[in-house]
Amino acid sequence: MATNKNKKLGKGLDSMGVNSIFGADVATLINNIENNASASMQEKIALDKIRPNPYQPRKVFDKEALQELAVSIEQHGVFQPVILKKSVQGYEIVAGERRCRAAKLAKLTEVPAIIVEFSDEQMMEVALLENIQRENLNAIEEAQAYQTMMEKLSLTQEALGKRIGKSRSYIANTLRLLTLPQEIQDFVLAGKLSMGHARCLITLEKEKAVQLANRCVEEKLSVRDIENIVKGIELGNSRKDKPKKEVNPEFTYVEHLLRKKYRTKIAVDEKTVTIKYNSKEDLNRILEIMGVIEES
């Protein structure tokens, strides 16, 4: 295994944009590093010396896609070098974790790599933005990454939004997903629920949200289905909140007698009798029964 500690790309990669990652097209940045580094800058690094990026936002890796990549690597090898950062013990992945995982599945012991000098802040930026730009992050993974960046870099929602090209409201709405019960977050992480489903469930009480999430997974309900169900639940809640009118059995009995006599809807309360009629003819009919006659 050949290693050359002097062959690393330092922090002075202004031409590749490394010193100004936020707001940049990180997919292009990574491609530039991979494509512009000469062959002499590539090294073979043992897989057992490589650790995942501690700031990697992706928690779930598609097993089927990894297996397909592993088969390709078995047949053709790893064409595109991974990007690593030297750490206290071995190396940390800056970009290329899927390739490293697939290479292990393919029984490889080492992979081609480019060593760069990135700060922890740059590691975090690249990990988040590469995943957003190259492969869509799961909504919960994205929310967790935003929360980590805000905490580690002391950023407000507005500041983070400006630096990664997202609106403050988008950041806020994404972070709200972390208030969902863990069971629902796990469904989103596993790809069983979408961000749209999850957003609908945020407004519900914990127990009802979990029940509806399970139903959604079992019945494969659409976002529109969930929206309609949630509206129904909220309407039901608002009706339940209204105090029920107490029914006086005496008034009910009188209503029954009057309705039987006049064959129309009649409501009786403590001081009022209300008689409903449907038309002028219906009114005249009721007046005749009452014995009310126009004066000639």
Q: Is the dihedral of CA 138, 142, 148, 151 positive or negative?
A: negative
How big is the CA angle at 211 (ends 208 and 216), to the nearest 5 degrees? Answer: 120
136 or 103: which leads in pLDDT = 103
Q: What is the pLDDT of residues 214-224, one digit of tens each?
A: 999 888 888 88
Report yes or no: 261 and 247 within 8 Å, Cβ to Cβ: no
pLDDT at 49: 92
Least confident among 63-77, 181-195, 234-248: 234-248
Least confident among 139-143, 184-188, 204-208: 139-143
161 or 39: which leads in pLDDT = 161
Using CA atoms of 216, 138, 141, 102 in order, give the dihedral in degrees to the nearest 10: 120
> How many Å separate Cα 23 from the centre of its chain?
22
CB atoms within 10 A of CB 37: 20
- Cα–Cα dist 189/195, whole Å: 10
- Cα–Cα dist 185/194, whole Å: 10
pLDDT level of residue 135 (50, 70, 90 thresholds): low
- Cα–Cα dist 57/177, whole Å: 15
In order of 133, 154, 284, the CA distances from 115 in angstroms are 22, 28, 96
Q: What is the pLDDT of residues 55-74, one digit of tens each?
A: 777 767 777 778 888 888 88
Residue 16 reports pLDDT greater than 50: no
Q: Which domains does the chain have, with CATH numbers?
A: 14-135 (3.90.1530.30), 249-286 (no CATH)
Can you list the positions of beta strands (E) in 109-155? 110-116
Per DSSP, the residues of 224-273 read HHHHHHHHHHHHHHHHHHSPPPPPPHHHHHHHHHHHHHH-S-EEE-SS-E
pLDDT level of residue 5 (50, 70, 90 thresholds): very low
Using CA atoms of 197, 198, 202, 208 in order, give the dihedral in degrees to the nearest 10: 70
Residues facing residue 95 across a β-bridge: 83
pLDDT at 3: 44
Q: Region 8-36: what's the mean pLDDT?
A: 50
Q: Which residues are catalytic?
A: 97
pLDDT at 210: 92
Strands of the sheet with 42-46, listed across from one edge: 42-46, 110-116, 82-86, 91-95, 50-51
- Cα–Cα dist 56/38, whole Å: 27
